Structure 1
C-alpha cells in the first residue's frame, strides 16, 4: 500500500542532492512526484516507487497535525 504523501510535506531522503541538501518539499503528487530541494531550489521529477524507497523521514506541515 502506498505511503500517504501530500503536497507541502517535507521529506528527508537517504541520499542527498549534489548541492549537499537532504531536505525536499513535495510540489506535485501523483504517480510521479515533483520534489524541490530546500538547499538550492532545484526541482526534480521522480516516480512514486523510487521516492518511497529513498524516504528516510516525513515531516508534515504544522497545520496538518
Structure 2
C-alpha cells in the first residue's frame, strides 16, 4: 500500500493547489509533507486512511 518516503495523492488538494505529498512519518499518527509549499501536516492513522487516494511514486 504505502511506505515511508512514498509520494502520494490525497482525495482533496492542499490550499496551495498541489495534491502531491511525501510520507515522512508512519505510526499511530502519520506525518506528510506538501510537495508544493513544504508544509508539514500530522494526521491520525484513521484520518489518513480515509483521505488517502493512491501512491504516485514508490520510494527507492
TM-score normalised by length of structure 1 = 0.82
Runs ≥4 residues deviating over 6 A? none
Matches within 5 A, 1:1-65: 4-59=1-56, 60-61=58-59, 63=60
State the number of aligned residues: 59
Q: Which has the larger radius of gyration?
A: 1
Q: Which has the higher contact order (CA 8 A, sep 6+)?
A: 2
Unaligned runs of 5+ in 1: none
TM-score normalised by length of structure 2 = 0.88
CA separation in 1, counterparts of 2:41 and 2:31?
6
